[in-house]
Structure 1
Amino acid sequence: MKVIAMIPARYSASRFPGKLMQDLGGKPVIVRTYEATIATKLFEDVYVVTDSTIIFDEIVANGGKAIMSEKPHESGSDRIAEAVANVDCDIVVNVQGDEPFTERESLKKVLDVFKTDNDKDIDLASLMVEIHDWDEITNPNTVKVIVDQNDFALYFSRSPIPYPRDKETNARYFKHKGIYAFRREALLEFTKLPMQFLEASEKIECIRYLEYGKRIKMVETTVEGVEIDTPEDLEKAKLLWK
Structure 2
Amino acid sequence: MKIAAVIPARFNSTRFPGKPLALISGRPMIWWVHTQVKKVGRFDDVFVATDDDRIKNYCEENNIKVVMTSDQHPNHIFRIHEISELLNFDYYVCINGDEPMIEPQIIESILEPIKNGEKIFALNLMTAIKEPTQAIDFAKIKIVTDENGYGIYMSRSPVPYPRGSSLYKFKKYVGVECFTKEALDFYVGSPMSTLEKIEDIDHLRFIENGKKIKFIEVESETLSVDTPKDLDKVIDLICGKED
TM value normalised by structure 1: 0.94
1:212 paired residue among 209, 212, 229: 209
Tell me whether 1:23 sits opposite 2:23 in the alignment: yes
Instruction: Detail structure 1 runs of 4+ shifted over 4 Å in the superposition.
Output: none
Distance 1:115 1:195 in 2: 32
Instruction: Map 1:75-224; keep pairs closer than 5 Å.
Output: 75-118=75-118, 120=119, 122-166=120-164, 168=165, 170-224=167-221
Whether the aligned pair in 2 keeps the contact of 1:19 and 1:29 (CA below 8 Å) is: yes
The letter for the 1-side match of 2:234 is A
CA distance in 2, matches of 1:181, 1:20: 21
Question: Which digits, 9 at most, give the CA deviation of each residue in 1:143-168, with x for residues without a partner?
Answer: 000011111111100011101222x3
Q: Secondary structure at the match of 2:92?
A: strand
Letter in 1 for 2:11: Y
Residue 169 of structure 1: how far off its partner (Å):
5.0
Once the two structures are TM-superposed, the CA of residue 13 in structure 1 deviates from its matched residue by 1.1
* Secondary structure, counterpart of 2:127 in structure 1: strand
Structure 2 gap ranges (5+): none
Q: What SS is found at the alignment partner of 1:85? A: helix
In the alignment of these two chains, the number of paired residues is 239
> CA separation in 1, counterparts of 2:167 and 2:131?
14
Once superposed, what is the RMSD of the aligned Cα atoms?
A: 1.4
User: Partners in 1 of 2:11 and 2:223 — Cα distance?
Assistant: 19
> 1:127·1:180 contact (CA, 8 Å) conserved in 2?
yes
Unaligned runs of 5+ in 1: none
Q: Does the CA-based 8 Å contact 1:154-1:210 persist in structure 2?
A: yes
Contact 1:51 1:68 in 2 (8 A): yes
* Cα distance in structure 2, aligned partners of 1:133 and 1:80: 31
User: Structure 1 residues 24-33 or 168-177, which shifts more?
Assistant: 168-177
Q: Percent of aligned pairs with the same residue? A: 34
